[in-house]
Amino acid sequence: MKNKIIKLLVKLRLIKDPKRKEKRHALVGSSKRWKIKQDFQIKFLKDQGLKEDDVFLDIGCGTLRGGIPIMKFLNVGNYYGVDIRENAIEEAKNELREEKLTQKIGDLILFDKFENLQINTRFNKMLAFSVLIHLSDDILYECLKFVKNNLTDGGVLYANVNIGDNDQGSWLEFPVMFKTLDFYKSTCDKLGLKFDVLGELRELGHISGDELSDKQLMLKIYKA
Ligand SMILES: C[S@@+](CC[C@H](N)C(=O)[O-])C[C@H]1O[C@@H](n2cnc3c(N)ncnc32)[C@H](O)[C@@H]1O
């Protein structure tokens, strides 16, 4: 009965759909785990020393599941998000409006490939949360080339990865990629990048109950 009344009130636009966040963030992963993923990203970045005046790029920002608290923390104009999916960017805009943050964002950019992505800002912090795991080898190379060219000296990219040597399945239109640390090392070497392994996500506070993601490694990538 209560659910029916809520549905009716939503339909009549008298209240907002209480499940709208779950529905929106289901575009970037499990609808049940969106808050865990959101809380993890901001806490992890603060643990790594995120500062309010950092100039921050969220690669594969999706619906701003992770981006909203990061943007709230940063100075006005210092958060930029980029993604290749139009529907995710549209929902990101809705999320921005609902959170009353449209004046706070630096930019939200829909792009097609990293080779064509141009932003007239250099970033000292970047995050690609659950993004490299969906990039084929060629796209990963182009992504990291973009990172190299758009990081300040001393800047860093944090990115979680699946470790293994065979790809497993797919998510939406994207593959789910497993690569070896040697592969990441040789790709980074080619581009003049280095990385440190910060640990498994679970060791960094990502306890989601999903074994595959909790055991992903977090890399800190920077110019050699
Ligand atoms: C699992 S979601 C994570 C979204 C966001 N980082 C978060 O944690 O809330 C992965 C995102 O990466 C994006 N993505 C996939 N391939 C991409 C590419 N080649 N370039 C940029 N974004 C990509 C997808 O569109 C999707 O929004």
Query: Distance between CA 220 and CA 82 in Å, rounded?
Result: 19
Read off the pLDDT of residues 125-166 as tens digits, 9 standing for 90 and up: 999 999 999 999 999 999 999 999 999 999 999 999 999 987
Give residues with Cβ within 8 angstroms of 77, minimum separation 6. 104, 105, 106
Asked if 221 contacts 144 with a C-beta cutoff of 8 angstroms, the reply is yes
Please give the distance, rounded to the nearest whole angstrom, from the Cα atom of residue 27 to the centre of ligand 1: 10
8 CB neighbour count, 10 Å cutoff: 11
Secondary structure element (H or E) that encloses residue 127, with its range: strand 123-128
Q: Ligand 1 test: best mutation among 43, 131, 176, most atoms within 8 Å of CB? A: 131
pLDDT band (50, 70, 90) for residue 17: confident
Hey, what domains does the chain have and what are their CATH numbers? 23-223 (3.40.50.150)
Please give the distance, rounded to the nearest whole angstrom, from the Cα atom of residue 63 to the centre of ligand 1: 9
Asked if 35 contacts 66 with a C-beta cutoff of 8 angstroms, the reply is no
Which protein residue's CA is at the shortest distance from atom 10 of ligand 1?
131
As a residue count, the chain comes to 224
Percent of the chain topping pLDDT 70? 100
Read off the pLDDT of residues 81-134 as tens digits, 9 standing for 90 and up: 999 999 999 999 999 999 999 999 999 999 999 999 999 999 999 999 999 999
What is the bridge-based pairing of β-strands 174-175 and 123-128? unpaired
| Residue given tokens 């998000």 in the structure block | 81
Q: Ligand 1 test: best mutation among 28, 90, 115, most atoms within 8 Å of CB? A: 28
Asked if 144 contacts 172 with a C-beta cutoff of 8 angstroms, the reply is no
Q: At what angle do helices 181-191 and 137-150 cross, to 10 degrees?
A: 50
Look at residues 53, 106, 222 and name the one whose alpha carbon lies nearest to residue 154.
Answer: 222
pTM over 0.85: yes
Tell whether the model's pLDDT for residue 15 goes beyond 90.
no
Which protein residue's CA is at the shortest distance from atom 12 of ligand 1?
60
94 CB neighbour count, 10 Å cutoff: 13
Please give the distance, rounded to the nearest whole angstrom, from the Cα atom of residue 205 to the centre of ligand 1: 21
Please give the distance, rounded to the nearest whole angstrom, from the Cα atom of residue 166 to the centre of ligand 1: 21
Look at residues 168, 159, 172, 158 and name the one whose alpha carbon lies nearest to residue 30.
Answer: 172
**Amino acid identity, residue 67?**
G
pLDDT band (50, 70, 90) for residue 217: very high
